[in-house]
Amino acid sequence: MSTQTITQFIPQSLTLRSSQQNNDQDQQSQSRQDEPYRYAHLLPAFPRDEHFPPLTPFEHIDPAARALAHPNPRAFLDSATSVVQLTPNLGTEVRGVNLAALGSDGRDQVALEVARRGVVVFRDQQEFINSGPDFYLQWGSHFGRLHVHPTSGHPEGYPEIHLVYRDANSTFNFELNDSITTTYWHSDVSYELQPPGVTTFFLLSQPNVGGDTLFTSQVSTLKKLSPQFVAFLKTLKAVHSGVEQAEFSRSGKRGGVVRREPVEHIHPVVRRHPVTGEEALYVNRQFTRRIVGLKREESEAILRLLYDHIDKSGDNQARVKWSPNTVVLWDNRITAHSAIVDYGDSKERRHGARITPQAERPIPALDGLDLNA
């Protein structure tokens, strides 16, 4: 049946109504574009004269450990109207808890819940998001020393707030290359000597459809492997490098800035969480470069197997669908994540802010593994 013939069966009133709806949507979209952007003060800046010295070691006291001593470590959920697990082993969605109103004990308990569940999604957090950058820093500092990203854009005057941004005229942090997928699993800045722990992220603006975030449990990923192979992995350590990220920025394909000279550090391939004791795989495609002590082909073969396992293990993964006023916390020590850039043709803005406290130097799952050798 031809298109013309099919069209004959569509009522004219429905055709006109559909056309009118499309016109209304176009007018609403244009109206939104004409309005001043509410979060313009949080748009990414790249000051050329901004340079920072190398990071120095510090003692990290995990707030989740304090929560263990509380008579009810989940008391912050007493006000929750809904607590739903995203999957059996990864992710929880919470409604009814106002993060902005939590005191020190409540924040400790949030840290413990994130350590146990990997990812916790808090809906209806308008007060948190609208509290502004000074509040973001105060919130994040509770969980550790705030990290300043060496190449990312940040709001003017707030280098501790890492931004992701994409609109019709910019692809900052969402560069589309010649890969067949935009899924790129990573643990944030794992090349630092003391990589991040409990991380907070939220979107200030988002596309109507798409732009979700995938998470995977590196605890579950490890548990899927055979005990003999896990025992071998525990003896290994790997180099994590920030050099390529810095070179990418210097090439002008990001912001063109490098605030600190790039570093490489050696971390255990399997790490232990300092509070829960859970063991987790700790390699990621973005920053892990090679396994120390192995020949190139051996290292590449093992990393390729692990990356392929991470990529394909849907039973270890959870997908967070963003809605306005959503705040997500995850533990970078036991999870990996990837943004999904599936909304490119819409030209809509996706503007996110990340608060990234550093944690301890990764603890090897194998006692006595020397990371300095």
pLDDT tens digits for 35-49?
Answer: 899 999 999 999 989
pLDDT of residue 346: 78
Other residues' Cβ atoms within 10 Å of the Cβ of residue 64: 24
| Mean pLDDT score of the chain | 90
Amino acid symbol at 170? S
User: How do residues 231-266 score in pLDDT, each as one tens digit?
Assistant: 999 999 999 999 999 998 998 777 789 999 999 999
Is the pLDDT reported for residue 139 higher than 90?
yes
Least confident window among 159-163, 175-179, 197-201: 175-179
Is the pLDDT reported for residue 186 higher than 70?
yes
**DSSP output for 321-337:** PP-TT-EEEEETTTEEE
- Confidence class for position 207, pLDDT limits 50, 70, 90: very high
64-364 CATH pick, 3.60.130.10, 3.90.470.20, 3.40.50.1370, 3.40.50.300: 3.60.130.10
More confident residue, 357 or 32: 357
Is the pLDDT reported for residue 4 higher than 50?
no
- Closest listed residue to residue 45, CA positions, set 172, 228, 134, 235: 172
- Confidence class for position 5, pLDDT limits 50, 70, 90: very low
Whose tokens are 């993060």? That residue is 99
Q: What angle do CA 257, 259, 261 make, to 5 degrees?
A: 105
User: How do residues 263-278 score in pLDDT, each as one tens digit?
Assistant: 999 999 999 999 999 9
pLDDT of residue 170: 75
Burial 97-131, CB ≥16 within 10 A → b, else e: bebeebeebbbbbbbbbbbbbbbbbbbbbeebbee
pLDDT of residue 32: 53
Is the pLDDT reported for residue 31 higher than 90?
no
Task: Kindly report the pTM of this predicted structure.
Answer: 0.90
User: How do residues 91-104 score in pLDDT, each as one tens digit?
Assistant: 999 999 999 999 99
Quick one: the chain helix, strand, coil %, rounded to 5?
30, 20, 45
What are the structural domain ranges in the chain? Answer: 64-364
In the chain, the percentage of residues whose pLDDT exceeds 70 is 88
pLDDT of residue 172: 62
DSSP letter assigned to residue 167:
B
Is the pLDDT reported for residue 1 higher than 90?
no
